[in-house]
Structure 1
Amino acid sequence: MTKFEDLTIQNNFLFQQVMRNPRICKRLIEELLNIKIAELSYPYAEKTIQTGVDNRGIRLDIIVADENRTHYNLEMQVKNNKSAETGEPLLPKRTRYYQASLDMDLLGKGQNFDKLNDTYIIFICAFDLFNEGRYVYTFKNKCLESPNLAMGNGATVVFVNSLGSKGDISPMAKNFLAYVNNQTVSDGFTEEVDAAVTALKRDSETRRQYMLLEMALHDERMEGRREGRMEGRSEERAARNRDIALDMLKDQYTLAQILKLSRLSKEEIYALAQANNLQVIE
């Protein structure tokens, strides 16, 4: 757990709190995406900072919409988590879950799909996810056989690399990414962001929310470890029971005796016998 006093804009909780300032959030989106927004709103104000535990764990969301009802979902990402099985980054697949969650919020029950708004999922990363040195990686669904043919489903995913050096982004965007890396204040925008960070770190209610979030995260981790230990012990018991049953089958114990001592079911014993070319004595 990072001490509240040591938080920087790289901490997603603090980033989300800063982005609740519509002027800062609007300017950042405009600079990163090279667009102009007339007006920004928070259509899910109560969901802007979600510190509850749901079926996929804890998520911090900042969701805003412009005058055209295009929705933007922003998050700060510091660690490039990878799959234990494949070693591949998990962030690209997380975008599928985020997009599905966002679409569920946008589409009311019984509404047609054409009511889905255009969306941007924006991850500001303190690492280069794709190792090409670009400031920005923008993804839209396109046809492989005809690269100029876009699906046109209105969904865009943007990965912003704070360590980038390639690509054409505005000086203000570059200054903000430098601020993400080392808290360097170099223009009016980063000065405003830094002032917001300082004010939030002096706010007792923000401190309380952070502590509640950290406690929820801690409880979730502890529950996961407890379930993992229970699952591990259950697997150990099952393996031990199979070993007992196998030894008894080899020693030609009866089915009733094996059932009593191994605690396996009749079906499991027959399957074990078949797999090891052994006979079950009724």
Structure 2
Amino acid sequence: MNQQYLEILEILRPIDNEFMKVLFKNQNCVELLVKTIFGDDVSLMKFETEDERKNLQGRSIGMDIVVTLSDGRIIDIEMERSTENATPLRARYHASILDCSESFAGEEWNQIEEMYVIFICEKDVFNTKQLVNPIERYMVNGDLFNDKLHIIYLNASIQDESPLGLLMHDLMCSDPSQMYYEVLRTRVSYFKKSERGS
């Protein structure tokens, strides 16, 4: 095994793009993400990783993890190390691409599924010092606009003792022995420690 490759592998974390692509092809890892964010009562119907979608003008975008829950909700989860790529306009674009690809001819407007675009960011993008930054749209009178779109920014630099804070720790951790969640620890160890994985 190439020594340089092993040295690079040793420092990779789940939040790092190339490693994330491999780790989250595993349903157990995706379920850990979704259930930690939404609660244990959610159920996955399907998921795709590195899902490339195009608009009618040919502009493509790769979505890290796209999940459809059994109740129809659609979730796009993006791991993002760069603050430049975690902009509100990118969140808007991801939502628009999903809307176009997940709605169908003849579908009533009220049948469009509830959608979540979630950015898990290495840094505190908006300098809120909060772990969870939910984004909703409101009307002038303060009522929720209720367009069934929810954008959530998770700040992985906040690693408290909550289940979500522990998950942020694991996503930023390069040493599987230091990870809290068995699912991630086992998956990361497979690639870093076993001959078959590496």
Shorter-chain TM-score bucket reads: 0.7 to 0.9
Q: Once the 2 structures are TM-superposed, how far is the Cα of residue 170 of structure 1 from its aligned partner?
A: 6.3
CA contact (8 A) 2:13 2:173 kept: no
The residue aligned with 2:41 is 37
Structure 2 runs not aligned, ≥5 long? none
Structure-2-length-normalised TM-score: 0.78
CA contact (8 A) 2:103 2:112 kept: yes
How far apart in 1 are the matches of 2:97 and 2:191?
Answer: 28
Q: 1:122 and 2:118 equivalent?
A: yes
Larger strand fraction of residues? 2
Report the count of equivalent residues: 187
Deviant stretches of 4+, over 6 Å: 51-54
Structure of greater relative contact order (alpha carbons < 8 Å, 6+ residues apart): 2
The answer to whether the Cα contact below 8 Å between 1:65 and 1:72 also exists between their aligned partners in 2 is yes
Q: Which residue of 2 aligns with 1:76?
A: 79
**Separation (CA, whole Å) in 2 of partners of 1:21 and 1:93:** 29
- Which of 166, 179, 185 is matched with 1:194 structurally? 185
1:157 deviation in Å? 0.4
Pick aligned residue for 1:151 from 136, 145, 154: 145
State the AA in 2 paired with 1:117: E
Partner SS state of residue 150, structure 2: strand
What are the within-5 Å matches in structure 2 for residues 174-193 of structure 1? 174-183=165-174, 185-187=178-180, 189=181, 191-193=182-184
**Alpha-carbon spacing, 1:38–1:10, altered in 2? closer, same or farther (3 Å):** closer
Higher mean displacement: 21-30 or 112-121:
21-30
Return the alpha-carbon distance in structure 2 between the equivalents of residues 51 and 27 of structure 1. 23
Q: Is the alpha carbon distance of 1:65 and 1:203 closer, same or farther for their aligned partners in structure 2, counting shifts above 3 Å?
A: farther
Please give the residue correspondences for 1:158-177 in structure 2 after superposition, counting only pairs within 5 Å.
158-164=152-158, 171-177=162-168
Higher Cα Rg, which structure: 1
Q: Deviations over 1:11-38 (max 9, x none)?
A: 22432432332233223222224x3434
Residues 172-209 of structure 1 deviation map (CA, whole Å, 9 limit, x = unaligned): 2211211233335242x1x32132124346698x99xx
Which one of the candidate residues 93, 109, 132 is aligned to 1:136?
Answer: 132
For 2:70, the equivalent position in structure 1 comes to 67
Query: Shift in Å at residue 102 of structure 1?
Result: 0.6
Other-structure match for 1:211 = none
Cross-structure match for 1:12? 17
Structure with bigger helix share is 1
Identity %: 18
Verify: 1:56 aligned to 2:52, yes or no.
no
CA distance in 2, matches of 1:138, 1:51: 25
